[in-house]
Amino acid sequence: MTSRRTLIAATAGLAASGLGAGLLGRPALAQQRFESLFVFVPAGPGGGWDGLGRALEQASRAANLVGSFQFENVGGAGGMVGLPRFISQRRGRPNALMVGGAVMVGAGITNRTPVSIRDVVPVARMTTEPGIIVVPASSEFQKLSDFTDALKANPGGTSVAGGSAGGIDHIILGLMLKSLGRNAREASYVAFAGGGPAQAAILGAQVKAGISGVSEFAEQVKAGRMRALATTGETRSLDGVPTLKESGIDIVMGNWRGLFGAPGINAAQTRALVDYVTAVHASPAWREILTTRGWDDAFLTGDAFAQFLTRDHAETEQVLRDIGLAS
């Protein structure tokens, strides 16, 4: 039994190292990267961030990159309950990773918490999920231009449902209003707690339109109960549904998720974490997870990710200020 397991692990390790070496252009070792890894999820079990953390474990085990995993979930307020805890308790620890993402950027700005996502070390952006703009099946809006015309003419009368105020859904609406030459503050944005109540309000035509992540509404669109007007990714996410960008509205927005190191780790330790997630990303197990879960690959590491983060933070802050949710 032991020998068989070792054999499988060795094969998987070899495969991973082969791919890793090919991608990185330097020899990656087949051995474990970390004896143990602490993964901190600033959200409850079962959500998107938790899913990314568990997928990381799944792929790392398949490629034998990490000896043992330890998880901690501290949920609440878009990650702003967990973040201060990760910062204070894991400072300087080289084998700790925190899951985080776009939601945390916005939450840090609107909640005015003393710490923000800029206080942890960016390691890699892993996945992204574009947004989708839908209307009830019975809506008079047939295509995106019908909706944008209404939005331009009377933003107050065009109610749009989505997740909590200041979240990505709200930001997308704010950016759209801005690009239409209106003020983001004029938005008639109806915030709902979670996907269920928001979907119910759209299905029941209580609101004119809705914005959320593609996966939230995709099934309703397929079943013909909602009509998709546009998605917000760089490329199309659903067949026959245009992106905002190709429709002449220059907005590309996604709910990205990534991994962060503890504050106070040095450059070499950061490097080790980046190398590790690069190896995970190159593993066949990770490819498989991306397809089964329907996640879009958005891999970006190190400096490029840090720059993206700075830009994302500045843009988010600007929109939230326009909407009137940040000072």
Distance (Å, whole) CA 192 – CA 183: 22
DSSP 243: B
Q: How far is the CB of 203 from other proteins (least distance, A)?
A: 5
Question: In the complex with other proteins, which residue's Cβ is closer, 18 or 76?
Answer: 76
The two most distant CA atoms of the chain are separated, in Å, by 71
Q: How far is the CB of 271 from other proteins (least distance, A)?
A: 31
Question: In the complex with other proteins, which residue's Cβ is closer, 165 or 306?
Answer: 165
In sequence order, the β-bridge partners of residue 170 are: none
Question: In the complex with other proteins, which residue's Cβ is closer, 248 or 294?
Answer: 294
Q: What H or E segment, with its residue span, contains residue 101?
A: strand 96-101
Q: How far is the CB of 228 from other proteins (least distance, A)?
A: 14
Do 39 and 97 meet the contact criterion of CB atoms below 8 Å apart?
yes
Q: How many CB atoms sit inside 10 A of residue 235's CB? A: 11
| Contact residues for other proteins, defined by CB under 8 A | 44-47, 50-51, 54, 74-77, 80-81, 83-84, 106-107, 110-114, 156-157, 159, 164-167, 170, 188-197, 199-201, 203-204, 206-207, 218-220, 222-223, 225, 292-293, 325
Question: In the complex with other proteins, which residue's Cβ is closer, 5 or 293?
Answer: 293
Inter-CA distances, 203 with 187, 220, 253, 291, Å: 21, 9, 24, 28
Distance (Å, whole) CA 285 – CA 281: 9
Q: How far is the CB of 32 from other proteins (least distance, A)?
A: 22
* CB half-sphere exposure, 276, CA atoms < 13 A: 30
Question: In the complex with other proteins, which residue's Cβ is closer, 48 or 122?
Answer: 48
Question: In the complex with other proteins, which residue's Cβ is closer, 246 or 288?
Answer: 288
